[in-house]
Amino acid sequence: MIEVHSLYKRFGLKTVLRNLDFQVQKGEFVALLGPNGAGKTTLLRILASLSRPSMGVVRIAGYPLPGQAAAVRRRLGVVSHLPLLYGDLSADENLRFYGRMYGVPNLPQRVSEVLELVGLASRRRDLVRTFSRGMQQRLAIGRAVLHDPEVMLFDEPHTGLDQDACSMLDQVLSEIAARGRTVVMTSHDLMRAADLASRFDVLSRGAIVASVPRTEMDPDQLLGFYRQAVTAP
Amino acid sequence: MTQDLSIPETTTVRGESALGAFLRAMWAVVWKDLAAEMRSRELLSAMLVFALLVILIFNFALELDAKTRSTVTSGVLWVTFTFAGTLGLNRSMAIEKDRGCLDGLLLAPVDRAAIYFGKVLGNLIFMLVVEMIVLPVYSLLYNTNLFHPGLLLVILLGSVGYVVVGTLLASMAVQTRTRDVLLPILLFPVVIPLVIAAVKGSAGFLQALEIPEIMPWLNLLIVYDVIFTAVAFMVFDYVVEE
């Protein structure tokens, strides 16, 4: 579903991603782990077609980037630590706006379904700027699944959430994974990643330095695996 | 949390032409900007207060006889419109950046030019609203009739050019930390021909000059609008992509 070969990304003289190879099969839930500055967000922004690769091949669902970015974006749902929502619009209006941008059919019904799903149906008329951080993140997930994407990209979705909001988010993430969607999630929270993901990849110094399927490793050993991967020469 | 997340397969396919998708996305952006502004009134109120203050200050600063007034009016008007317009353009793009909404827009599977033209249309509406309020107030304060069809045409053409360039440069400036300062520095040199043509064209109509004397300025405004609309259409995608 996601294929990345020999990817380089440079910002001026700084090379953030170097010769990176990364594959994700359909239905896999990959936790992308790594220290700050490793290039996780840059990789996700390239996969989301928000950033152009300097060199290399990127394909999502068979469509090359940046050549067929619109076809890729139709199949993508993205959640980052920013909600990507308008504070002066209500929850309902935000979803209607994004629904129009994605050409979602039967929009009023779909918006109601999604608001129900993320537990915000009773607050649908409230302005997003009155929402707590956790509620905004739930609505951000609603926005991301509104057009029923095949691939979900989560960039540190737990950032700034309290324990209740994190649990709620985990529940939604599990449900998304259970639906057979392909998921890539960056995270610093190893415990949560261990509970959710079916594969763990470690990105360090601009390249994937280690990868292990959940079936081949006890989740309790994830911290050791991560430390070994990032400290290896 | 047991509800199915998916859209039923039979309803996901939608026969829509590329133009239809373009217009749908463009109107969605316009609707969003207008709806958000109706709630907050941040952008319009900032532009209006600034514009009214400027014409009030000029009114007290300049003691003008009727003849001088007709030559100065166009300059005062365009100073007011351009500076108030900069405030609006900055705010309009800052809203997109604040909660990462610009990324949300860019993630939509639509031609990015539709997003650009949606923003242009929204900004143009705000600018025209401010101008339609400023004109009668100016007429009252300066005892001058500004409701001349020719003058209104110049204001429309000038505003279109200003917003077309301004929206493009604002989407560039908003990516930087110094966006508030950067926009006027980028924008004013580029709009100098437009502002000169608009001032000269407006002055021509206010002084009741013959149409052949005004036409070169009107032509310049039209050519500027066409060229920069085409340029913005071609480069917007590159401006907003990292």
- Distance between CA B170 and CA B165 in Å, rounded? 8
Out of A148, A163, A187, a domain closes at A148
- Beta carbons of B24 and A82 less than 8 Å apart: no
Kindly report the length of chain A: 233
From chain A residues 80-109, the ones with a CB under 8 A of any chain B CB are 80, 82-89, 93, 97-98, 100-106
Q: Are B114 and B22 in contact (CB under 8 A)?
A: yes
Q: Is A143 on the interface with B (CB under 8 A)?
A: yes
Cα separation of the two ends of chain A: 31
Residue of B nearest to A96 (CA): B28
Residue B76 contacts residue B58 (beta carbons within 8 Å) = yes
In terms of domains, do A57 and A153 share one? yes
B108·A179 Cβ contact <8 A? no
How far is the C-alpha of A58 from the C-alpha of A205, rounded, in Å?
19
Indicate whether A188 and A139 sit together in one domain. Answer: no
The verdict on A102 and A55 lying in the same domain is no
Token duo for residue A229: 């991967």
* Ramachandran bin of B45, using left for φ above 0, alpha for ψ from -120 to 50, beta for the remaining angles: alpha
Confirm if B46 and B88 have CB atoms less than 8 A apart.
yes
Q: What is the number of alpha carbons within 13 Å of residue A126 lying toward its C-beta?
A: 13
- Spell out the alpha helix ranges (H) of chain A: 40-47, 69-74, 91-102, 107-117, 133-145, 163-178, 190-196, 222-231
Q: Kindly state whether residues A129 and A200 are assigned to the same domain.
A: no
Residues of A in contact with B36 (CB under 8 A): 86, 88-89
Which residues in B lie closer than 8 A to residue A93 (C-beta atoms)? Answer: 32, 35
ipTM of the complex: 0.88
Q: Which domain holds residue A136?
A: 85-148
What per-residue confidence (pLDDT) applies to B156? 97
Q: Which of A148, A176, A197 lies at the terminal end of a domain, its last residue?
A: A148
Cβ of B108 and A105 within 8 Å? no
Q: Do A69 and A137 have their domain in common? A: no
Helices A91-102 and A133-145: crossing angle in degrees, nearest 10, is 20
- Among A42, A61, A51, A53, smallest CA distance to A2 is for A61
Residues A118 and A221 in one domain: no
Q: Are residues A45 and A94 in the same domain?
A: no
Residue A54 lies in a domain: yes
What count of residues does chain B have?
242
Residue at A206 is within a domain? yes
Same domain, yes or no: A136 and A106:
yes
Sheet of A63-65, strand order:
A14-24, A2-11, A55-60, A63-65
Residues A172, A70 share a domain: yes
Cα B142 from chain centroid? 25
The values of phi and psi at residue A183, to 5°, are -125, 135
Distance CA A139, CA A92 (A): 10
Closest CA to B135 of B121, B120, B150, B148: B148
**pLDDT tens-digit profile of A190-231?**
888 888 888 999 998 889 998 989 888 887 888 888 888 878
Q: Which two tokens stand for residue A137?
A: 């993140």
Name the residue among A111, A105, A102, A157 with its Cα closest to residue A134.
Answer: A157
Which CATH number belongs to the domain containing residue A198 in this structure?
Answer: 3.40.50.300
Q: How many CB pairs under 8 A join A and B?
A: 114
**Both structure tokens of B40:** 């907050």
B100–A50 CB contact, under 8 Å: no
Q: What is the pTM of this model?
A: 0.88
Minimum distance, in Å, between the CA of residue A105 and any CA atom of chain B:
6
- In terms of domains, do A68 and A178 share one? yes
pLDDT in tens, chain B (242 residues): 444 444 443 334 456 788 888 999 999 999 999 999 999 888 999 999 999 999 999 888 877 777 777 778 899 999 999 999 999 999 998 889 888 899 999 999 999 999 999 999 999 999 999 999 999 999 998 888 888 899 999 999 999 999 999 999 999 998 888 877 899 999 999 999 999 999 999 999 988 899 999 999 999 999 999 999 999 999 998 888 76
User: What span, in angstroms and rounded, lies between the C-alpha atoms of B93 and B174?
Assistant: 6
Domain boundary among A121, A148, A175: A148
Which tens digit of pLDDT belongs to each residue from A25-35?
Answer: 998 999 999 88
Phi, psi of B110 (to 5 degrees): -130, 160
Amino acid symbol at B144: T
More confident residue, A62 or B62: A62
What integer pLDDT is reported at residue B146 of this predicted model? 86
In chain A, what residues touch B110 (CB-CB under 8 Å)? 70, 101
Q: Tokens 């926009």 — which residue?
A: B183
For residue A80, being part of any structural domain is answered with: no
Residue A188 and residue A141 share a domain: no
- With beta carbons under 8 A apart, name residues in chain B contacting A147: 7
Which residue is it, tokens 């280690």? Answer: A210
The answer, yes or no, to whether the previous bond of A66 is cis (omega within 30 of 0) is yes
Of residues B1, B36, B98, nearest to A171 (C-beta): B1
A148 with B12: Cβ contact below 8 A: yes
Domain extents in chain B: 30-240
**Is the bond preceding residue A157 a cis peptide, omega within 30 degrees?**
no
Residue among A86, A116, A88, A87 at smallest CA distance from A101: A86
CB contact under 8 A, B100 and A80: yes
A143: chain B residues, CB-CB within 8 Å:
104
Cβ-defined contact of A45 to B242 (cutoff 8 Å) = yes
pLDDT band with cut points at 50, 70 and 90 for residue A232: confident
Residues A55 and A163 in one domain: yes
* Nearest alpha-carbon partner for A174 in B2, B195, B9, B44: B2
- The beta-carbon neighbor of B99 closest among A85, A103, A175 is A85
Give the residue-averaged pLDDT of A86-115.
Answer: 94
The minimal CB distance from B104 to the residues A98, A105, A175 is found for A98
Which of B6, B21, B103 is opposite residue A179, by nearest beta carbon?
Answer: B6
Q: Per the domain annotation, does A212 fall within a domain?
A: yes
Residue A34 φ then ψ, to 5°: 165, 160
A62 inside domain: yes
C-alpha B189/C-alpha B82 separation (Å) is 12
The tally of domains found in chain A comes to 2
Two tokens, residue B54: 């400027």
| A contacts of B11 (beta carbons < 8 Å) | 105-106
Arithmetic mean of pLDDT, A41-46: 93
Which spans in B112-148 are helix H? Answer: 112-142
Q: How far apart are the first and last CA of chain B?
A: 37
